[in-house]
Structure 1
Amino acid sequence: MILPIFLITIGFIVILNSAIPFLLKRTVAFGVTIPEGHTDNRTIASYKKIYSTTTLLVGLILLAAYFIWAKIVNPTEERLVLTGLAIQFFVIFVSMGLYFLFHAKTTRLKRDNNWGANLKQIKIADIAIRTKDEMLSAYVFTIPMVITIGLIAYTAIQYDNIPDKIPMHWGADGQPDAFTTKTPFSSISLLCVLLILQAMMLGINAITKQSGINISATRSNASRVQQLLFRKYTSWFMFLLSVLLTVLFGFLQLTTIHEDIGNEVLMLSMPLGFLLLILIAAAVYVFKVGQSGSRIDVVHEDEPVSGITDVDNDKYWKAGIFYVNKEDPSIFVEKRFGVGWTINFAHPIGYLILFGPLLLILLIIFLL
């Protein structure tokens, strides 16, 4: 079962990375702002094609080689997992290498041709638009957390019935392959990790809801619609992720308490089903929504506006990936390369959100 899981995961990574340049806004290419009038530049179009074709070919070759190697050599599970992970990282490494190459080329092309010099930069602020924001409230994200707290209470009640050895890791076949001694802490450690992840989802949604809504100066009406839907779908995607994590972790916790409910078929289907649902949801979100909702169809497009362009804030984007702007109160901002959000590295809270949950989870693992 390990081989199909890695084939699906690698295939998803390859397709997603090769498609990224075509999921972005027209006015952004490889992390660089492209002023109106130059968004259809042939040179940039060729950069996108080379990036996508190269990433796709490298990924497909590695995917085929991985499959053939696994069938001929029949490696151990450990070698199969390590090789699969190595291929995933290599595909990402290749795509990022191409990104940095074309980011530099696009930056140079923009500078050498002095794009946007004769255009007036406009930033639109719409205070009333927040009243139309349909992102989920924090209360909705507390529902999975309440379920987790209930599972912690149930674990405490059933503590005497829990086996002396508690699973702390599950293999690709869904069966536990590493155990730890039962203690009051170890018996709820999995739920503590889940609670941290749920709190992270809640925090990201709440802070994202307070982030700025970027309205295009040249497509103000269309961008309003796309921005609102982008934020709504992002919120729902994070909530779905929180729910799926709750179902998976909750199931594993119940199988720890009641060993008889976890038959082989169910133990295998739960993590596999979780993976497939996450990948399907991510694919729908990425390819349906796109960066800032750029792939969402708008019924009434704006009439072309000449002589103006959106504010060029390239100076705040380091390498087109890392956003550092002390003047922007937003802690989360929309990615420039990819779909979703990234943090404003100029705010300490961003680092807390990025590293805080990870450190807490590592602490739980260390204490087991």
Structure 2
Amino acid sequence: MEFTILFITILFISLIQIAAPFLVKRTVVFGVAIPYEQTNHPKVKQFKRRYAISTCFIALIVLLRFFILKQGSITETKLVLSGVVLPFVLILASLSLYFYFHYKTTKVKKSQHWFEGVKQVRVADLSVRLKDEMLPSVVHFIPVILTISIVGLTIHVFDQLPNQVPTHWGPNGQPDDFTTKSWMTVLNLPIMLFVIQIMFFGINAATKNSGIKLSATNINSAKRRQLNLRKYSSWFLLVVNILMTMLFSFMQLNLLYENLVSNSMLWITPLIFFILILGGSLILAIKVGSADSDLEGKVIIEETNQIEDVDEDQNWKGGLIYFNPNDPSVFVEKRFGIGFTLNFANPRGYFIIFLPIVIILLMSFTM
């Protein structure tokens, strides 16, 4: 199972990294804002091709290396360790390529004086809010009902549990690590789950209140992309919430009732969860990336109307980190990849994202 999960992970990361330059909106190339009319510039197209080919080559090497390790006499532990390290190798390699082409694109932009003599404008369309199909944030409290039920059940059977309770299960489905029974160790999983559910609620609420940024040069496509991003991200977040609630509840029930399910179910269930998450991520990428990007297939007119979007490169550190104290939005669309990223100048984002992560880490290390 470990090999299958890790191989699928590496393959998925590879495909996303290779396709990334073609999924982002046309007017952002490797984190650099460019005029709409320059999206067909030979250098821009060349940079995207070179990045995709280089990343594909690196991904093939990583996948081949992992497959060869599986065929050798390597132990299961070392195989898993390699499967964890290799995706990071792939991500670091693609990130290095990203920064290289980010520098090259910035250099071409400056040398060509692309934004000089061009009027930069911001587009606001109040009617687009009426078409926003993001789910109401309260739906993320629906899975909390199951979490509360699991907590109540745990309290009810606490006295019947053995003095040593399992905290980890091996590949064969058998527990291989135990700890002394206490309220904290027994309720650890439901409490973690509740913290995650609160975080999902905060993310959805903050995203719903964040601004919808449209393009002055491609309003209809930009509007469709923003609405798709918000709608499908909201649904994806709810699906992840429900799946995590089901998985954590399944694990908690297995802790409370020994031999509740077969050993095969103990490793099949996380695999199904993992596959569903990856499938949802792929659907999100396609649904969002199909608008206002190279996937749209729209022909770019080789002329300028002397109006462009505001060049916000100064607010993006390396094209990846957004820091704009003048923007009240907590989350904004990524410049490389699909989804939202945090406005690091807005302190509310730290409370929504990092506080729950700190709580979960503290609970993990204090068990």
TM-score interval (norm. to shorter):
over 0.9
Query: Who is 1:315 aligned against?
Result: 314
Q: What amino acid is the match of 2:84? A: L
CA distance in 2, matches of 1:152, 1:365: 18
CA distance in 1, matches of 2:286, 2:358: 32
Deviations 1:207-254 (A, max 9, x none): 000111011112222322321122000000000000110111100001
CA distance in 2, matches of 1:55, 1:21: 11
Query: Who is 2:24 aligned against?
Result: 24
CA distance in 2, matches of 1:62, 1:275: 21
* Conserved 8 A contact 1:174-1:271: no
1:171, CA displacement in angstroms? 3.6
* Conserved 8 A contact 1:222-1:298: no
CA distance in 2, matches of 1:42, 1:119: 21
Deviations 1:172-214 (A, max 9, x none): 4544332211111211101111111111111111100011101
Aligned residues: 365
* Conserved 8 A contact 2:332-2:343: yes
Distance change (3 Å), C-alpha of 1:296 and 1:194: farther
1:353, CA displacement in angstroms? 2.7
Answer yes or no: is 1:279 the counterpart of 2:275. no
**Structure 2 gap ranges (5+):** none
1:131, CA displacement in angstroms? 2.4
CA distance in 2, matches of 1:123, 1:339: 22
* Conserved 8 A contact 2:169-2:177: yes
Distance change (3 Å), C-alpha of 1:340 and 1:24: same
Query: Who is 2:346 aligned against?
Result: 347
1:122, CA displacement in angstroms? 1.5
CA distance in 2, matches of 1:171, 1:320: 41
Answer yes or no: is 1:76 the counterpart of 2:97. no
SS across alignment from 1:129:
helix
Query: Who is 1:327 aligned against?
Result: 326
Query: Who is 2:152 aligned against?
Result: 153
Q: CA RMSD in A?
A: 2.1
1:146, CA displacement in angstroms? 2.0
Query: Who is 2:233 aligned against?
Result: 234
Q: Which has the larger displacement, 318-327 or 124-133?
A: 124-133
Q: What amino acid is the match of 2:44? A: I
Query: Who is 2:268 aligned against?
Result: 269
Query: Who is 1:357 aligned against?
Result: 356
CA distance in 2, matches of 1:274, 1:174: 16
CA distance in 2, matches of 1:86, 1:172: 19
Q: What amino acid is the match of 1:41? A: H
* Conserved 8 A contact 1:24-1:291: no
Query: Who is 1:34 aligned against?
Result: 34
Q: What amino acid is the match of 1:341? A: F
Query: Who is 2:117 aligned against?
Result: 118
* Conserved 8 A contact 1:290-1:296: yes
TM-score of the pair, normalised by structure 1: 0.94
CA distance in 1, matches of 2:351, 2:170: 31
1:293, CA displacement in angstroms? 6.8
Query: Who is 2:101 aligned against?
Result: 102
CA distance in 1, matches of 2:292, 2:149: 37
Q: Which has the larger displacement, 172-181 or 214-223?
A: 172-181
CA distance in 1, matches of 2:290, 2:213: 12
Query: Who is 1:202 aligned against?
Result: 201
* Conserved 8 A contact 2:199-2:353: no
1:149, CA displacement in angstroms? 1.4
CA distance in 2, matches of 1:112, 1:291: 31
Query: Who is 2:4 aligned against?
Result: 4
Distance change (3 Å), C-alpha of 1:194 and 1:292: farther
* Conserved 8 A contact 2:172-2:264: no
SS across alignment from 2:11:
helix
SS across alignment from 1:333:
strand
SS across alignment from 1:259:
coil
* Conserved 8 A contact 1:33-1:314: yes
SS across alignment from 2:39:
coil
Answer yes or no: is 1:61 the counterpart of 2:61. yes
* Conserved 8 A contact 1:230-1:293: no
* Conserved 8 A contact 2:195-2:356: yes
Query: Who is 2:84 aligned against?
Result: 85
Distance change (3 Å), C-alpha of 1:65 and 1:150: same
* Conserved 8 A contact 1:323-1:344: yes
* Conserved 8 A contact 2:22-2:295: no
Identity of aligned residues (%): 43
* Conserved 8 A contact 1:205-1:235: yes
CA distance in 1, matches of 2:173, 2:116: 59
Distance change (3 Å), C-alpha of 1:44 and 1:170: farther
Q: What amino acid is the match of 1:344? A: N
1:129, CA displacement in angstroms? 2.0
